Structure 1
Amino acid sequence: MRKLAKDNQKDNHMKQLIDVASGRVKADIVIKNANVADVFNGVFVRGDVAVCGDKIAGVGRYSGVTEIDGTDKYVMPSFYDAHMHFESVMIRPSEYLKAAVARGVTAFNADPHEIANVCGEAGIKFMIDDVKGIPADVRFMMPSCVPATPEDCSGCVLDARAVKDIADKYGLFGLGEMMNYPGVIGADADVMQKLGVRDIIDGHAPSLSGNALNAYLCGNILTDHECESVEEVLEKISKGMYVLIREGSQTKNLKTTVKAVNKTNLRRFLFCTDDRNVEDLFEIGTVSNAVRLAVECGLDPVSAITIASLNAFEAYGIKKHGAIASGYSADFLLCSDNIAQKIDKVFYHGKVVAENGVPLFETQPASANALYGSVHIKPVTERDFEFEFKKGMPIMRVFPNTVVTETVAAQSRENLNLMCCIERHHASGMIGHCYVDGFNLKNGAIAQTVGHDAHNITVLGDNPRDMLLAVNGLSSDGGLVLVKDGRLIGRLPLEIAGLMTDATAETALKIRGELFKALSEMDYNKNIEPFMLLSFMTLIVIPDAKLNHKGLFSVSKWNYLYKG
């Protein structure tokens, strides 16, 4: 009986949609005389957009119960962020979504592997609960690598059995970025089982090429967001991958990788942010920022919109989304320009959910109290932040706008900073040390509990006193801390797993503003975003030199350059 009632409801909805599409019945909403993005033909067309319930009935000439003047306006499908981590914005998901939906994104592939590395299943459940009732399609991926590699020490270990159990229990959409590419290429038994948990599998394969890439793709990997060059993009597309053009806050690959887009391969590209800070979220948006930059780089507007919408839905097998066309989900934007820099209204399932950058919906945040107090370390002293320098020793060199680093031989201690990675989940007392070139921090230290992906404590400075003060300033909840000349001058508490603040986005923005004001008074390389860059300097799946709690690691050689 329930199935029959459901089928009847579906048939009635289809009949209503057909009646509206044919013009026999007025639409619920009509956007009149607008410039409509045709993502199938790559052009804007003039017409009325008719909405019936949660679907688009058609583009043509229509009348509606509610009519909105679209003259000199643009209608385009709302956007899809194909790979992102809520945790990287350092605010809870519900707070992020209020800002992101209002800026034109109504679909997300969210990988909660950051919080899973700290809190396991409890962290994943919190993320799922926190987005409930929000007008957006949030598709959670099951973290595939907790920890990222066997060399890491995180707060939780999820083997293949746990990955399957959690993915099934919560109905997760796909398998999150498979960072353990050595495990795939080497056909590790546990990795092989994980690859069988879901058909949709996101990749993470920086610099993989040739037979190694062929082997990786035989694990049914669908996408990659780690491309650094046009050549890398074209090889991965030629082998059947979708390439996610990434424009985050530290990893800014778009201006390079968009050069690989042409009329033949256009449909193989998606946009993603991966890791975004809250300032960029509010000031320049997320996917709309990628659309703008792509057009500035020479891509035509409808092609950029296609990458931002239809391509992602088709890549992930989601039908009838991502276009302004009959029978498609009525998720769209009404804009004053053709690249979504001035979004007047955001529609989700046929309803206005944001207007002029302001969300029109409320959220019901999930309790995060159980995720507080996640920092557990042995007491440290100034001696823990001393490390013998030897001429010619390998060190890490960092650069602006990328999290890729180099291994270089140090010739002098001058202008180098010491970085330490302190294991913070089990109070083991393990600390890795290395020198860093390119950060150029003087007379101070920065410490944080955000350190992809194991999220141990990362501290960088030029003297033991300030490094100790910075680490002690984190407390048991964690966060970001700045110390200058023996004084704690800035702190952002991140109570939720040491990754996210429990404050509102606006409060977080204010506190971070104060933090960056304090940072501006410090002497460092102003071409980098210190907190975002520092968070990636411990991730040993991105080339080349990275530091974990054991020591300095070479990703290309897959071994330690030294331990301790």
Structure 2
Amino acid sequence: LGLPGIRYMLEASKDLPIDVHIMTPSCVPATHLETSGATISPQDTEEIFSWKRVLGLGEVMNYPGVINLDPDMVAKLRVARGRPIDGHAPGLSGEDLWAYVISGPQTDHECTTLSEAQEKLRAGMHILIREGTTARNLDALLPLLTPATAPFVHFCTDDCHPETLTQDGHIDGIIKSAIARGVDPELAIPSATIHTARAYGLTDTGAIAPGYRANLVVLSDLQSMHVDKVFTSGRLVAEGGRTVVDLPTHADQQVRGSVNVGGSPLSFAVPDQGGEARVISVKMDQVVTGEMRVVPRVEDGLVASDTGRDIIKIAVVERHHATGNIGLGLVHGFSLKDGALASSVAHDSHNIIVVGANDSDMEAAVRAIIETDGGQVVVRDRKVLAQLPLPLAGLMSDLALPEAAKMGEELRKAATSLGCSLPSPFMTLSFLALPVIPVLKLTDRGLVNVDRFEFVPLFTGGGEDG
């Protein structure tokens, strides 16, 4: 939605009993390899910085653009000088990492190994240890947190399903997990509070001391991290797990009606070209993917899902401008035996992404998303088994958290009933369209080799690189 969407988020959050700050999006679109709903220019970025509660520049995902001095990316970084700048540099190392850091990004939450995090820490970056619904890096990265490194090591969830929030909590849940793994509470809690506040320039937040805002969390003990009370600016806002103040409502018509596929037919037909095809290989509990090469199953001259080998079709349908773009590919790792899963949450351009054991159910799943103006759905035999509508920009629910979490759990169970083995299939699905996390991803414009930052054909054509 571009600037109107950011304005809505600031307006909708301004009177809440919590402090909500934002980082202005740096990469809309994330790359030139996909179709986004809007574009945010360097001039737009400068305007957003004049708005209240905007701290800095968000997640600079286009790291190839930074390293290769893309003019648009350089202009945004220049505008953001002197402000916090979030990074995104999965696997970046050596001179490429140095060039990236020199350009301005100060944090990274994409580390998956201790050695990667240590190198980035030595390069001067703050490391956010990520523990979300799908990407779980706490066990691998926790040794990074020591008394010497604590001011530069923080926690984040990145992406969380509603049911994860209700079951495991948010940052409090990560602190609890860190303590359970032997980290001293006096080390874990400051990493999540005052050190994080300092990293983002919030000098009056994060400590109980004179001159600091009275934003307080009262815990029953330091092991369970059970929250008894929450105060914001000295005002009791939550007690016993319930909000004790009235919450404001805001008009949201400007962020509805975002799904625009048009009248083009939805075809997922892939003509066989002979030989091997590239397959996106899903990795458990990670957002990075691999690349497999297999001879696909073919029926009547068309590539078909092969549930016996766990190789099924995947498609990304452009939903912002009715271009008719449909990117087509194959994916391994869902273990889907029947039906289809679809979602309008597909980072970061958020087109409709769908996987399925057959074209008919894939088409029905996409149609169901269109009918609810965004959402997530499980379909079998063209019938909806479970669905979570997301009518706000096709990304957010207008339901209360417990209700959204219940529907999210029903989605997971429905996916499991189709044979899906992934613990969080919709979170995994949402990252398969993000062409800034290696290795192989799919956008509405086609397959992308992220390491080479270019489109690659589905069929290899027999060549080494295809």
TM-score, scaled to structure 1: 0.76
| Residue matched to 1:471 | 366
Does 2:105 correspond to 1:213?
no
Change in 2 beyond 3 A, CA 1:360/1:187: same
Does 2:58 correspond to 1:153?
no
Aligned pair partner of 2:207 in 286, 308, 323: 323
| Residue matched to 2:301 | none
Matches within 5 A, 1:393-404: 393-404=277-288
Residue 123 of structure 1: CA displacement? 0.8
Residue 509 of structure 1: CA displacement? 2.5
| Residue matched to 1:235 | 119
Change in 2 beyond 3 A, CA 1:407/1:417: same
Residue 422 of structure 1: CA displacement? 1.0
Residue 506 of structure 1: CA displacement? 2.9
Aligned pair partner of 1:388 in 254, 263, 272: 272
Matches within 5 A, 1:10-409: 119-170=1-52, 172-198=54-80, 199-339=83-223, 341-379=225-263, 381=265, 383-386=267-270, 388=272, 390-409=274-293
Name the SS of the counterpart of 1:137 in structure 2: coil
Contact 1:399-1:528 at 8 Å conserved across structures: no
Residue 188 of structure 1: CA displacement? 1.5
Matches within 5 A, 1:451-490: 451-476=346-371, 477-490=373-386
CA distance in 1, matches of 2:255, 2:438: 31
Residue 515 of structure 1: CA displacement? 2.8
Name the SS of the counterpart of 1:562 in structure 2: coil
CA distance in 2, matches of 1:387, 1:507: 43
CA distance in 2, matches of 1:543, 1:557: 10
- Specify every segment of 5 or more residues in structure 2 that has no aligned partner in the other structure, as ranges: 298-308, 460-466
Q: What are the superposed Cα offsets for residues 455-514 of structure 1, whole Å, 9 maximum, x if unpaired?
A: 111010011111111111112511111111332212211111111122222332233333
Name the SS of the counterpart of 2:392 in structure 1: coil
CA distance in 1, matches of 2:119, 2:183: 21
Q: What are the superposed Cα offsets for residues 184-212 of structure 1, whole Å, 9 maximum, x if unpaired?
A: 11112111110122221111111111000
| Residue matched to 1:92 | none
CA distance in 2, matches of 1:294, 1:390: 50
| Residue matched to 2:387 | 491
The two structures, once aligned, show a CA RMSD in angstroms of: 1.8
For the pair shown, the structure with the greater C-alpha radius of gyration is 1
Q: What are the superposed Cα offsets for residues 351-407 of structure 1, whole Å, 9 maximum, x if unpaired?
A: 221111111122212211122221111446574244537543221000211111001
CA distance in 2, matches of 1:353, 1:424: 39
Q: What are the superposed Cα offsets for residues 9-66 of structure 1, whole Å, 9 maximum, x if unpaired?
A: xxxxxxxxxxxxxxxxxxxxxxxxxxxxxxxxxxxxxxxxxxxxxxxxxxxxxxxxxx
CA distance in 1, matches of 2:115, 2:20: 32
Contact 1:175-1:200 at 8 Å conserved across structures: yes
TM-score, scaled to structure 2: 0.91
- Specify every segment of 5 or more residues in structure 1 that has no aligned partner in the other structure, as ranges: 1-118
Residue 340 of structure 1: CA displacement? 5.3
The aligned amino acid for 1:401 is: D
| Residue matched to 1:59 | none
The aligned amino acid for 2:28 is: V
Contact 1:145-1:158 at 8 Å conserved across structures: yes
Contact 1:228-1:256 at 8 Å conserved across structures: yes
Change in 2 beyond 3 A, CA 1:445/1:380: farther
Aligned pair partner of 1:553 in 434, 448, 456: 448
The aligned amino acid for 2:431 is: F
Name the SS of the counterpart of 1:408 in structure 2: strand
Contact 2:90-2:110 at 8 Å conserved across structures: yes
| Residue matched to 2:302 | none
Query: How many residues are paired up?
Result: 445
CA distance in 2, matches of 1:377, 1:441: 26
Name the SS of the counterpart of 1:498 in structure 2: coil
Deviates more, 1:426-435 or 1:292-301: 292-301
Contact 2:341-2:415 at 8 Å conserved across structures: no
CA distance in 2, matches of 1:420, 1:195: 33
The aligned amino acid for 2:427 is: M
| Residue matched to 2:400 | 504
Contact 1:175-1:197 at 8 Å conserved across structures: no
